[in-house]
């Protein structure tokens, strides 16, 4: 028995003690001991992933009131986060940087010693009188090149329950791994909670990532994007590890797209929060492999990827039978689902954009809700929060990809990037080569901020590869490694840029419907398999009308008019040039060490646009480029 196990013994049942002692790595015991010593729980529950334990966790979430089962459909529960904990909180999420190390200015960071002192003080005795739940899991399938071991200590049964739906159980993998394995460690505490089990000290919410010790601390919050260590928090740890080892950890959805004769091509896509990952991965008729985070490796020259998760924590707003038929079906049938921050009335969950008239009263994240209710700032409280979500395991979906658990992952046929770009990029285009695609669509990704983070919506910002919030190494180095990753592949996937949010410059209306993305995805599938040609535009290869028109008919049974095509695929030179200069300014200010390749690609794009402007003017119809 090592000293950590001995020290933990008084807080463990005999059974739990045994479960822990058969894991041979003393560092695991040490991590649990240190969390327990700091947070001082009344007792510790070790989850070895048996069905009984998993059921106990779900049941305790209900017994404690963190979740409620007062919904009519079996398996459904709901949970509320506090009014000040409704999204990822960037302002209080920091990377702890030791003295002597330096990251780019654009990243939210803090001195490691100061950060640890602060967050540890907030954790001190935070679990008093409560149970600390310990869960083991793996990011990515177990026993694979991709596997990362993870440990979670939390005092929230809701968090432990969510982990069960979203991640792969890992107790057995920990047992098998033996001594010396590297693992990510997360410590979460909801802190003081009120009678409704909601964290009250939101002003002391802190989420700190200590990459020196591969540890994430999250205190005084419950919103899953802040509390579940393995989402975006461990992603920061994974990015460092990946870049040391020559692979990529990305904000990716991964989907299987069918072509002719059941041909299947996997496409990965990065979008900032609330910009299209889940809705793309859930397109009907295709398969979902991942909807948030993927690890990508060069395996024998081929670009292969896994989903590090095994469930969806998805935005529920706008899920309705027309726009997202598959998810809608899941959410309205029996099965294990946690709804968060929706409106509850008549034992039903209600949300914005569900295509039904919402009730005028009910219970929501502010307690009793009624039409016209205002908050303490006098703002109207919506019936459900815009960032209300559902949590569900992937393997209950009929469209779950059969390769989800393949330890070798799937081969990526293509990679795409997309943000909320109202003005400049066309709905879909393909990069001229890896460098161009990665830089022009990924590194130059510009987006409007959304409701998924706690701050003003609708702010313009650069969001490199849709992952800038989570990058934990110098940004220039990140981009350099990314570009290098492609160069080391024998088979380089084509890179695409999509924009679901292009607006008419005059009317301000979106130029595309939610379902149109399905056509873009099918067009990419054809391009990847060399089935169609494309038009060379200054910003990339764009689709021909003759190829899109039949796709619209086949996929959506829509008549796609030439007028719509021209409106959507007109190259807006001015808007593109303005975008480029914003991107260049960002790089000059924030990433002075960026590799010359990036400048080169941006300069070439600028040159192509200026040259085309001379010939065709500011708005270039795709027809004139077709020549």
Binding residues for ligand GTP, rule: CB under 6 A, are 271, 273-279, 291-292, 314-315, 317-318, 452, 500-501, 510, 514, 517
User: Which element (helix H / strand E) includes 91?
Assistant: none
Cα pseudo-dihedral 406, 173, 62, 350, rounded to 10: -20
Annotated active-site residue in 153, 275, 400, 606? 275
At its nearest, how many Å lie between ligand GTP and the CB of residue 137? 20
Question: How many other CB atoms are found less than 10 A from the CB of residue 9?
Answer: 15
User: Which of ligand GTP, Mn ion, none interacts with 279 (beta carbon under 5 to 8 A by kind)?
Assistant: ligand GTP
User: Strand locations in 441-494, DSSP E?
Assistant: 446-448, 460-462
DSSP H helices, 1-155, are 3-8, 14-21, 26-39, 51-63, 112-123
- Return d(Cα 185, Cα 179) in angstroms, integer: 16
179-202 CB burial, b ≥16 within 10 A, e <16: eebebbbbbbbbbebeeebbbebb
At its nearest, how many Å lie between ligand GTP and the CB of residue 498? 9
- Residue 227: CB partners within 8 Å, gap ≥ 6? 154, 156, 159, 188, 190, 218, 221
At its nearest, how many Å lie between Mn ion and the CB of residue 314? 5
User: Which of Mn ion, ligand GTP, none interacts with 318 (beta carbon under 5 to 8 A by kind)?
Assistant: ligand GTP
User: Which of Mn ion, ligand GTP, none interacts with 510 (beta carbon under 5 to 8 A by kind)?
Assistant: ligand GTP
CB nearer to ligand GTP: pick between 258 and 510: 510
Question: Is residue 280 part of the contact set for Mn ion (CB under 5 A)?
Answer: no
Piece in contact with Mn ion (CB under 5 A), picked from 3-11, 154-162, 273-281, 421-429: 273-281
CB nearer to ligand GTP: pick between 142 and 388: 388
At its nearest, how many Å lie between Mn ion and the CB of residue 389? 8
**Judging by DSSP bridges, how do beta strands 410-418 and 264-270 pair with one another?**
parallel
Within residues 313-372, the interface with Mn ion by CB under 5 A covers 314
Read off the DSSP letter of residue 443.
Answer: I
CB nearer to ligand GTP: pick between 452 and 602: 452
User: Which of ligand GTP, Mn ion, none interacts with 189 (beta carbon under 5 to 8 A by kind)?
Assistant: none
Instruction: Please identify which residue in 93, 131, 227, 278 interacts with Mn ion, judged by CB under 5 A.
Output: 278
At its nearest, how many Å lie between ligand GTP and the CB of residue 445? 13
- Return d(Cα 609, Cα 571) in angstroms, integer: 9
CB nearer to ligand GTP: pick between 36 and 275: 275
Indicate if 303 belongs to the active site.
no
Q: With contact defined as beta carbons under 8 Å apart, do 152 and 139 qualify?
A: no
Q: How many residues bind Mn ion (CB under 5 A)?
A: 3
CB nearer to ligand GTP: pick between 141 and 276: 276
At its nearest, how many Å lie between Mn ion and the CB of residue 329? 17
Q: With contact defined as beta carbons under 8 Å apart, do 216 and 210 qualify?
A: yes
User: Which of Mn ion, ligand GTP, none interacts with 271 (beta carbon under 5 to 8 A by kind)?
Assistant: ligand GTP
Question: Is residue 48 part of the contact set for Mn ion (CB under 5 A)?
Answer: no
At its nearest, how many Å lie between ligand GTP and the CB of residue 278? 3
CB nearer to Mn ion: pick between 295 and 565: 295
User: Which of Mn ion, ligand GTP, none interacts with 273 (beta carbon under 5 to 8 A by kind)?
Assistant: ligand GTP
Structure tokens at 453: 């983070």
CB nearer to Mn ion: pick between 76 and 277: 277
204-239 CB burial, b ≥16 within 10 A, e <16: bbbbbbbbeebbbbbbbbbbbbbbbbbbbbbbbbbb
Apex CA 490: angle with CA 485 and CA 492, to 5°?
Answer: 65
- Return residues touching Mn ion (CB under 5 A): 277-278, 314
Active site residues: 275
């Amino acid at each position: 028995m090592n000293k950590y196990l001995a020290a933990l013994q008084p807080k463990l049942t005999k059974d739990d003690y045994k479960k822990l002692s058969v894991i041979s790595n003393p560092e695991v015991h040490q991590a649990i001991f240190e969390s327990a010593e700091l947070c001082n729980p009344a007792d510790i529950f070790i989850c070895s992933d048996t069905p009984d334990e998993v059921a106990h966790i779900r049941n305790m979430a209900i017994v404690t009131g963190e979740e409620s089962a007062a919904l009519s459909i079996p398996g459904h529960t709901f949970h509320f986060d506090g009014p000040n904990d409704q999204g990822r909180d960037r302002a209080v999420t920091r990377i702890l940087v030791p003295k002597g190390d330096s990251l780019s200015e654009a990243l939210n960071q803090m001195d490691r010693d100061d950060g640890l002192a602060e967050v540890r003080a907030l954790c001190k005795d935070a679990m008093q009188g409560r149970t600390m739940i310990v869960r083991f899991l793996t990011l990515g399938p177990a026993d694979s090149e991709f596997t990362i071991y993870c440990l979670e200590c939390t005092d929230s049964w809701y968090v432990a329950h969510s982990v069960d739906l979203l991640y792969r159980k890992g107790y057995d993998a920990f047992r098998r791994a033996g001594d010396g394995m590297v693992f990510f460690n997360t410590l979460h505490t909801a802190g003081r909670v009120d009678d409704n089990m909601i964290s009250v000290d939101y002003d002391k919410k802190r989420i700190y990532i200590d990459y020196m010790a591969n540890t994430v601390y999250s205190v005084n919050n419950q919103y899953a994007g802040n509390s579940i260590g393995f989402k975006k928090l461990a992603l920061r740890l994974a990015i460092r590890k990946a870049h040391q080892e020559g692979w990529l950890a990305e904000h990716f959805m991964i989907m299987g797209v069918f072509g002719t004769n059941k041909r299947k091509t996997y496409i990965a896509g990065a979008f900032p929060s609330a910009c299209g990952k889940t809705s793309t991965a859930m397109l009907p008729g295709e398969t979902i492999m991942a909807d948030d985070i993927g690890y990508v490796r060069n395996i024998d020259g081929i670009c292969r990827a896994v989903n590090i998760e095994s469930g969806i924590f998805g935005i529920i707003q706008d899920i309705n039978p027309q726009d997202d038929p598959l998810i809608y079906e899941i959410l309205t049938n029996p099965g294990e689902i946690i709804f968060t921050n929706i409106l509850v009335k008549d034992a039903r969950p209600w949300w914005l954009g569900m295509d039904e008239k919402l009730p005028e009263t009910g219970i929501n994240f502010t307690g009793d809700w009624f039409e016209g209710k205002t908050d303490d700032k006098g703002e109207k409280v919506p019936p459900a929060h815009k960032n209300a979500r559902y949590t569900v395991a992937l393997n209950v979906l009929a469209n779950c990809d059969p390769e989800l658990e393949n330890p070798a992952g799937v081969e990526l046929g293509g990679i795409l990037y997309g943000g909320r770009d109202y003005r400049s990029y066309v709905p879909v285009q393909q990069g001229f080569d890896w460098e161009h695609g990665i830089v022009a669509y990924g590194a130059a990704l510009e987006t409007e901020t959304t409701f998924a983070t706690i701050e003003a919506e609708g702010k313009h910002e650069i969001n490199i590869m849709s992952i800038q919030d989570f990058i934990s190494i110098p940004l220039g180095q990140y981009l350099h490694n990314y570009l290098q990753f492609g160069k080391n592949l024998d088979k380089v996937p084509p890179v695409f840029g999509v924009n679901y949010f292009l607006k008419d410059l005059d009317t301000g209306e979106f130029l595309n419907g939610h379902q149109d993305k399905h056509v873009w995805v099918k067009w990419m599938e054809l391009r990847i398999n060399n089935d169609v040609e494309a038009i060379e535009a200054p910003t990339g290869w764009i689709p021909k009308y003759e190829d899109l028109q039949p796709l619209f008919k086949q996929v959506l049974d829509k008549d796609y008019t030439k007028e719509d095509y021209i409106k959507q695929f007109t190259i807006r030179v001015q808007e593109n040039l303005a975008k480029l200069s914003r991107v260049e300014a960002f790089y000059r200010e924030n990433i002075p060490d960026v590799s010359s390749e990036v400048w080169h690609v941006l300069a070439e794009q600028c040159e192509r646009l200026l040259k085309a402007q001379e010939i065709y003017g500011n708005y270039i119809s795709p027809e004139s480029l077709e020549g």
